[in-house]
Structure 1
Amino acid sequence: MRIAVMIAASVLVAGCSQAVGGQARQPEPTPSAPSGTTRTAPSTTATPPPTAAPAARAAIGEVIRWIEAAPAAEPGGFRTVSRDGTSTDLGEGVAFTTPAGTSRCVTNHRAEGALTCLVDLQDPPARPPDAYGEWKGGWVDFPGATLDVGSAHADPGPFSDGFGVELPYNRALTFGDYRCRTDPAGLFCVNYAHQSAARFSDAGIEPFGCLQQVSPPPEIGARFSC
């Protein structure tokens, strides 16, 4: 008889401790934290993107976060260029122009889709004495590992069929290894493969990331390299 009473008591205690719908009927009291101890929930807030365009010599991470903070533009709207009312399809390439018209860019099919831009620079590099052809001080080639400003050309190259449509301010366009965002401060483009970036504006070309100025080849105005 005594054994039966003990078993019944054990079943009653166990029943009171079982959860129903994920909640206990009679929860155990929560132990108090030791005196002088403050309970702090772990922070889950990510680093917010910069609210202003990156300044000169900004860290590449800051530049990338700022570019990526802009809403994405649909790449399909930038697959053509036009000249004198005639449009040409670029296939997988893209072309775009900044709202101010200062920078006109296209993916260069002759250079494995590298970004090439014509920038209306206020103070472009001077023509080197060994450059052959028509000098374009605002011609910028940005394949990622290097950034060349100013070069000579015998023909319009990737711009022979015209220019792309406007990429509105504070929109970002992703293509290949690149993502570009327009802003009144300039056009900012990152090359993810090389963790390099650049700002294109009439005030000049500003490199970011691994790009450092080096001595250019005889036919190039200025070169930055990783």
Structure 2
Amino acid sequence: MRIAVLVAVPLLVAGCSHDIGSQPGHSQTSTPTSAGSSASKPTAGSATPAAGVPISEVIAWIEAGRPADPARYHSVSRDGVTTELGDDIAFTAPAGKALCLTDAKHTGSALACLVSLTNPPPAPATAYGEWKGGWVDFDGVKLQVGASRGDPGPFVNGNGPELAERDSLSFGDYRCRAEQSGLLCVNYAHQSAVRLSAGGVEPFGCLRPVPPPDGVGMAFTC
């Protein structure tokens, strides 16, 4: 009788172990494979984010670009003359569709760009001087399109090197990724972003349209 009991116990344990391992619910708790987890992430060649998508998707798409070396983008050139910018950054989007730079001395942390817009905003009644409909200022909290300029401002010394298609450039609170379709830049500090292309200027994140101040064509703010 004692022998029968000792034999039965191992059989019972073995049977329970088999039942737990074969339950469908337990197979779902396994850690996803690296292939499965990467399938949903943007790749360097994935389509640009659509208007209105969450800022997290915009950031993921920008970060999927090939990292460019910031050391290459600290100068501008015009007519064969190169001007060093120190800590400031300057770059040109593919095909010259957007010229962008920072000018910490005069504009703080703002990113300024000249964009070749197909339909730039018209000059408002409050504009004076030469109207630049493709002038864009983006500091993370505010995004303004169109400006009255009597001079080229920070672009006076020329343009920065081209940021290659599918490359992303990180500087300060910003990261920008270039594509043939345009340029997309995020400001991490304020979780806002902007897409610049010939077709227009598209805000993301906390940016919402507001009445533009005097001398500005369009304005958005967080």
TM-score for both structures, normalised by structure 1: 0.83
1:61-80 aligned at under 5 Å gives the runs 61-80=56-75
Return the alpha-carbon distance in structure 1 between the equivalents of residues 50 and 142 of structure 2.
20
Contact 1:81 / 1:162 at 8 angstroms: preserved in 2? yes
Return the alpha-carbon distance in structure 2 between the equivalents of residues 135 and 98 of structure 1.
22
Return the alpha-carbon distance in structure 2 between the equivalents of residues 201 and 36 of structure 1.
54
**What's the RMSD between the two structures over aligned residues?**
1.8
Question: What is the CA-CA distance between 1:32 and the residue it aligns to?
Answer: 2.0
Contact 1:95 / 1:164 at 8 angstroms: preserved in 2? yes
Contact 1:93 / 1:113 at 8 angstroms: preserved in 2? no
Which residue matches 1:142? 138
Which residue matches 2:97? 102
Counterpart of 1:125 in 2: which secondary structure? coil
2:189 is the counterpart of 1:193 = yes
Return the alpha-carbon distance in structure 2 between the equivalents of residues 129 and 211 of structure 1.
25
149-158 vs 168-177, greater mean Cα deviation: 149-158
Return the alpha-carbon distance in structure 1 between the equivalents of residues 65 and 80 of structure 2.
31
1:1-226 aligned at under 5 Å gives the runs 31-34=17-20, 37-38=23-24, 39-40=26-27, 41-43=30-32, 45=37, 47-49=40-42, 51-109=46-104, 110-226=106-222
What amino acid maps onto 2:31 in structure 1?
Answer: P
Structure with the bigger percentage of helix: 2
Gaps in structure 2 of 5+ consecutive residues: 1-12
Gaps in structure 1 of 5+ consecutive residues: 1-27
Which residue matches 2:4? none
CA-to-partner distance for each residue in 1:179-201, whole Å, 9 max, x for gaps?
00001221000000110001101
Q: Percent identity?
A: 50
Question: What is the CA-CA distance between 1:209 and the residue it aligns to?
Answer: 0.5
Return the alpha-carbon distance in structure 1 between the equivalents of residues 81 and 31 of structure 2.
58
Compare CA radii of gyration and give the structure with the larger one: 1
Distance 1:34 1:186, change over 3 A: same
Counterpart of 1:117 in 2: which secondary structure? strand
Return the alpha-carbon distance in structure 2 between the equivalents of residues 73 and 42 of structure 1.
33
Return the alpha-carbon distance in structure 1 between the equivalents of residues 159 and 71 of structure 2.
15
Return the alpha-carbon distance in structure 2 between the equivalents of residues 150 and 175 of structure 1.
24
